[in-house]
């Protein structure tokens, strides 16, 4: 799937179409160098649950560093693994960690 584009996840008459959100900074990372540079991302799983998505991410060789109580996954991934991460099913959003900041 191309980042930044609308992604139709699980979609039948009982579910609402969910657009996957890929943060622009993650898109920028896709083509950055060096390829072994690592990024820390926040991955929000769809309702099917963090555990399934976690297993899929681990299978890529990326490192799920922590699962927050809300189910958000903090993932460390190399730039070279990033494109495969974006193709993992069951993800609602992917953004860099530490996007919140104080508001002055």
Partner 1 sequence: MSTESRLSLRIPRWKSLSDSERLPNWATDFGPLYEYVIEAHGRAANIPKAGEAGSSVHIGIIDSAAELPAHLTENLDVREGAEHSFIDSSKAETTYHCTPVFTLASRYCPGATFSLYQAVREDRKLPLAAFSDAITAAIDDGIDILNISAGEPWPDLVETNPAVLETKRAIEEDVIVVASAGNEDPEDDERLPVHCPAALQDVIAVGGFVSRCPARPGAEPATEPTGPYYVESDDIDDRARYGPFCGERGCIDGEACIPNKTERPWEHNVMPTGEKPDVLAPAVVPELDSDSGPYFNGGTSFAAPIVTGALGGILDELRSENRDLNPYQARRAVVNGSSPIDEGTIPKFDAMGTRRVLELG
Given the complex with partner 1, which of 42 and 82 has the nearer CB atom?
42
Distance CA 39, CA 65 (A): 12
The number of residues making up the chain comes to 104
Least Å distance, CB 80 to partner 1, is: 24
Q: Which residues contact partner 1 (rule: CB under 8 A)?
A: 18-19, 21, 42, 44, 66, 68-72, 74, 92-93, 95, 97-104
Least Å distance, CB 31 to partner 1, is: 22
102 to 72, 98, 99: CA distances (angstroms):
21, 11, 10
Tokens representing residue 10 in the block: 């699980």
Least Å distance, CB 51 to partner 1, is: 16
């Amino acid at each position: 799937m191309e980042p930044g584009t609308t992604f139709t996840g699980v979609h039948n008459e009982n579910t609402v179409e969910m657009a996957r959100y890929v943060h622009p900074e993650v898109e920028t990372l896709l083509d950055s160098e060096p390829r072994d540079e690592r990024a820390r991302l926040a991955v929000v799983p769809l309702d099917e649950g963090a555990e399934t998505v976690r297993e899929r991410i681990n299978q890529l060789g990326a490192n799920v560093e922590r699962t927050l109580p809300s189910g958000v996954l903090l993932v460390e991934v190399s730039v070279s693994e990033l494109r495969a991460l974006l193709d993992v099913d069951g993800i609602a959003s992917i953004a860099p960690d530490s996007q919140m900041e104080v508001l002055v």
